[in-house]
Structure formats: C-alpha cells, structure tokens
C-alpha cells in the first residue's frame, strides 16, 4: 500500500495547498534514527556544537522572509507574530551556543582522596554526558519556537544529542524548509545531515518513540497525545525519559483589594492575554477567580467590553476549531453557567472570543461542572466568582498541575500587608511559574526561566525554556580511581579546557 501523502493546508480556507511529503514508513524512521545515531561523534567537540548553533541561527535569520511567509500560509498566525517568534528562536539557538562555550552545564566536580573522612573518600570525578538520539515532537501553536528548530532541538544539540523531529501536520512545508536550513548549517561545520532528522505521520511518531536507539523524547501538545507517547516510552524494554508538556489551565486569582483598586485594568489585561494568538498559547489564563460584589463586577464589565471588541480569528486547523466549538457548547450548556460574551463560530473558518462565568460554589466540590477545570484550547476563559477567601481556596485545591499560576494583588498586599505572601505560597504547589500582577502569556528565554509544572502540565520536573532545558538530555557519570592519563580532558586536574568546576569543594569559575 502506498504511503499516505502529507499535505500543507491553508487554515484560512481549509483547502490543501501542496503535497509536501509522504508519511514515513517504519523503515524510513529507522533510517533517520540510525543516521542521527551515527552523527553523535560529530557533536562531541563543544566548539563545533556552538559554531553549528550560531550558524543555524544566522541561516534561519537570513531566510526569514521566506520562512515567515511559509509559516503564515500554514498557521494564519500573521507575519508580525511569526517574525517575532523566529527572532526568539534564533536568540534561543545563540543562547545555547553561549552555554556550550561556558561549559558549566557539564557540572564538573572533582574530589581528591581523603582518608580522614568518614567513610574515606576515594578519587572521584563527575560530569555529564549526552544521552544519545532525542525524539522531538513539534507543537502546533509555535511553528518556530517549539518545532523543528525550537527549544527541544536547540537544547538537545547543545547537549551533544542529535535529533529526529516528528513534524507537526499543521506546518509540514515549514518543517521541511527549517530542517533544510539546519542541515546546511551543519554541513558548514562538517556535521552530517543526519544530525537533524525529520519524519511525518502519526504512525511514524509511534515508531520513533519505540526505536531502541532513541534515548529520550521531548513533546509539546495535548494531554491525550502526550500521555500515549509517555506511556509508550515507559513501556519500552528499556524505558526512556519523556519530557512532555501536555496541557495547562493557568489559574489566576484576583484578590478583593486588587479588584477594588484596579479592576478595570485587570479586566482589560485579562482580555488581551486570553485572546492573544486567538487563545492558542499554552499559558493562556483559562480560569480566573474574581471576587463577588461591586469590585468584581467592575472587572467583569471591563472584560466584557474588551472581549466584545476583539476580532474573530483563525485557529491553527479545522479540527481544533471543531474541538473549540464542541468544548464551548459543553461548558455553556451547564446549569448556573452564564456567558456575558459567548464564544463561538465567528465565520465559516474563524472563531470569536468570549468568556463564561460561574459561582465558586459550583466548583468547590466534585460534580458536573468539573469540565470547567479542564483546558479549552482557544479564545475562552472561565471567570469564577467567589464570596470569600475560603471559597477561593477550595476551588484552587481542586486544580491539577499547571505551567503557571497568577495572583493580582493590591499595592498594599504587594508591599507585604495582608495575605500576599500567603497567597503566593498557596499557588506555588500548583505551577512551575508563579506570577504577581502580570499575565502568563509571554515566556521569556532567560537563564532563570522555568516552563514546566506538576502533571499534567508536564511529565517531568524539567523546563523546556531557558538555559537549564539542556539538563534534560544529559546524564551524570562518575569515575573512581581512574588514572589521570585515562580521564577525559574535562576531568583532569590541570583543567585544560578552562571549565567552571567544583575542585575539592571549592568553586572555580
């Protein structure tokens, strides 16, 4: 039977644009993984790795106009948004090149023998080595930053791990273009093209996670798809790490004092955050706790005005549009749920933004309203009106893990008066990033960033954004009693590579 074609589709019309490829067979997946496995030696030199990453950023930037045009045709995200996302992707590649040059990610620790310790300490030398081939599963909503050249790929290459990317069906043509750019960049430094493999197709994704030479995987997508791959990774004869980002409600708590002080501004800010990118951000605020009474009413009015004035938009594909409309219909059909601005079909190919309201008492205990505690991908949020702090706490206690949790405080609360610190502590177990007086959309690429959270937000405790994302693709190894002449240069006393390290208990930078 002939392999199924892979089509590029215009989400603005739902029509096929061009056939890009065919779905990979098991044999083709095996070929891609083996080619990646053979490319490991070419990445062993940190100087080569860093230069490759910088060249990749330069080549992507040089091809920017063509790449943004292709991305917009397949995602409808718009040139402005996509140009910014490509710049972020290039910045990320260069940032990892800097990390590779610095070398601190290797975690070098050297302890000389100490017979006076209890128990005695032998000669021990520890650092981190690459895991091997990494399977990367592209996301739909970030065709640059979480796709072929995105954070998983950049951090894996920085760690010394070749990648095989399972392209997302929402942007296959762009995926092919970006992979071509990366391979050309690799060739400039003598790195084989197989260092970045690319496969298409659902079955290819399953074959990839099961391949015995794949050592780890990174995924960004739905709870259902991510959990299936997570389970497959664990069911292998040799299980592998699976770093999956699966879904997040991203709760927001607005205190009564904050609503009274600046409810209008909070309502406007919420509207901007929940409709950004047609609500297709993984950190979109999906559940917002707002106090009952006049202060909260003002916030809701501001939100109503702002969302009512937002324009209908195109989702990434028609399947997502169907799921969004079905999710909205299920939620608006619940008793005690109102929709001041009803989200729905904005046109044949678009959706309109809106929000729902419900009393906190409906969510305080398990029941029919529990679907409101699940992510609905698209431009919709749920405003939960609470009567007192205890009621808000009961709702928060029922939430699953999240990427973010946000609190809006008054000026006095932010200065340490009242419950500000207590609320921050209450939100900390819920998420990997806790925000105060801000909005979660917008994830800075910075050393201190953490983009992850308790399950189901992610399947591990790692981050997929920021410098420490490299740690996912490394494992520590310690040598005991090894003669100096046999040690890798990273672990020798004279430190020929000039690496940051801990030497006999003292940090050397």
* Beta strand 133-137 pairing with 344-345: unpaired
Round to the nearest angstrom and report the end-to-end CA distance of the chain. 59
**Tokens, residue 21:** 């490829």
Structural contact between residues 402 and 248, judged by C-beta atoms closer than 8 angstroms: yes
The closest of 259, 252, 237, 260 to 288, measured between CA atoms, is 252
Helix (H) or strand (E) holding 7: strand 5-10
Pairs from 206-212 (Cβ < 8 Å, separation ≥ 24): 206/232, 207/24, 207/26, 207/29, 207/30, 208/29, 208/33, 208/135, 208/164, 208/166, 209/135, 209/233, 209/236, 209/242, 210/236, 211/29, 211/30, 211/33, 211/133, 211/135, 212/236, 212/237, 212/238
- Using CA atoms of 495, 497, 503, 507 in order, give the dihedral in degrees to the nearest 10: 140
Question: Which residue out of 85, 176, 245, 426 is catalytically annotated?
Answer: 245
Helix (H) or strand (E) holding 405: strand 402-408
Could you give the 3-state DSSP secondary structure of residue 158?
helix
Structural contact between residues 328 and 382, judged by C-beta atoms closer than 8 angstroms: no
Could you give the 3-state DSSP secondary structure of residue 223?
helix
Structural contact between residues 279 and 286, judged by C-beta atoms closer than 8 angstroms: no
Cis peptide before 496 (omega within 30 of 0): no
The closest of 18, 11, 175 to 77, measured between CA atoms, is 11
**Which residues, listed in sequence order, are joined to residue 218 by a DSSP beta bridge?**
136, 243
User: Half-sphere exposure of 136 toward its Cβ, with a 13 Å CA cutoff?
Assistant: 35
Could you give the 3-state DSSP secondary structure of residue 440?
coil
| Dist CA 26 CA 219 (whole Å) | 20
**Residue 118 burial (10 A CB sphere; 0-12, 13-18, 19+):** exposed
**Total H helices, total E strands in the chain:** 14, 21
Question: Which residue out of 282, 376, 426, 490 is catalytically annotated?
Answer: 282
| Dist CA 396 CA 255 (whole Å) | 13
Structural contact between residues 402 and 250, judged by C-beta atoms closer than 8 angstroms: yes
Q: Does the active-site annotation cover 245?
A: yes
Could you give the 3-state DSSP secondary structure of residue 19?
strand
> What are the residue numbers of the active site?
245, 282
């Amino acid at each position: 039977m002939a392999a199924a074609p892979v089509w590029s589709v215009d989400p603005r019309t739902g029509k096929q644009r061009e056939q890009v490829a065919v779905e990979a067979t098991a044999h083709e997946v095996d070929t891609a993984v083996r080619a990646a496995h053979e490319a490991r030696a070419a990445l062993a030199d940190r100087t080569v790795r860093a230069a490759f990453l910088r060249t990749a950023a330069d080549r992507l930037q040089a091809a920017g106009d063509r790449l943004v045009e292709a991305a917009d045709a397949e995602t409808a995200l718009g040139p402005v948004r996509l140009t910014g996302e490509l710049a972020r992707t290039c910045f990320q590649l260069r940032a990892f090149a800097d990390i590779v040059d610095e070398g601190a990610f290797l975690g070098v620790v050297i302890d000389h023998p100490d017979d006076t310790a209890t128990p005695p300490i032998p000669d021990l030398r520890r650092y981190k080595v690459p895991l091997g081939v990494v399977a990367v599963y592209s996301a739909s909503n970030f065709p640059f930053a979480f796709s072929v050249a995105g954070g998983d790929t950049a951090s894996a290459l920085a760690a010394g791990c070749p990648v095989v990317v399972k392209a997302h069906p929402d942007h296959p043509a762009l995926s092919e273009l970006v992979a071509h750019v990366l391979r050309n960049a690799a060739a400039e430094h003598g790195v084989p093209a197989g260092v970045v493999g690319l496969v298409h197709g659902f079955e290819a994704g399953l074959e990839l996670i099961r391949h015995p030479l794949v050592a780890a995987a990174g995924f960004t997508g739905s709870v259902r798809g991510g959990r299936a791959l997570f389970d497959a990774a664990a069911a292998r004869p040799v299980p592998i790490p699976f770093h999956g980002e699966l879904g997040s409600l991203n709760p927001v708590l607005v205190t009564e004092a904050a609503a009274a002080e600046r409810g209008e501004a909070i309502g406007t800010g919420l509207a901007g955050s929940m409709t950004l990118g047609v609500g297709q951000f993984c950190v979109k605020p999906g559940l917002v706790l707002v106090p009952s009474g006049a202060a909260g009413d003002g916030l809701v009015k501001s939100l109503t005005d702002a969302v009512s004035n937002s324009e209908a938009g195109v989702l990434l594909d028609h399947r997502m549009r169907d799921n969004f409309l079905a999710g909205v219909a299920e939620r608006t059909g619940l008793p005690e749920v109102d929709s001041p601005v009803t989200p729905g079909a904005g046109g044949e190919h678009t959706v309109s933004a809106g929000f729902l309201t419900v009393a906190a008492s409906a969510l305080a205990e398990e029941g029919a309203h529990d679907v409101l505690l699940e992510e609905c991908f698209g431009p919709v949020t749920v405003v939960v009106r609470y009567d007192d702090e205890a009621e808000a706490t009961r709702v928060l206690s029922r939430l699953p893990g999240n990427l973010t949790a946000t609190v809006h405080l008054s000026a006095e609360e932010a200065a340490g008066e009242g419950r500000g610190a207590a609320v921050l502590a209450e939100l900390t177990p819920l998420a990997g990033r806790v925000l105060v007086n801000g909005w979660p959309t917008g994830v800075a690429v910075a050393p201190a960033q953490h983009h992850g959270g308790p399950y189901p937000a992610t399947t591990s405790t790692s981050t997929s954004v920021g410098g420490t994302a490299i740690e996912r693709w490394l494992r520590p190894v310690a040598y005991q009693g090894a003669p100096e002449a046999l040690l890798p240069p990273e672990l020798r006393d004279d430190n020929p590579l000039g690496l940051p390290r801990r030497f006999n208990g003292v940090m050397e930078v």
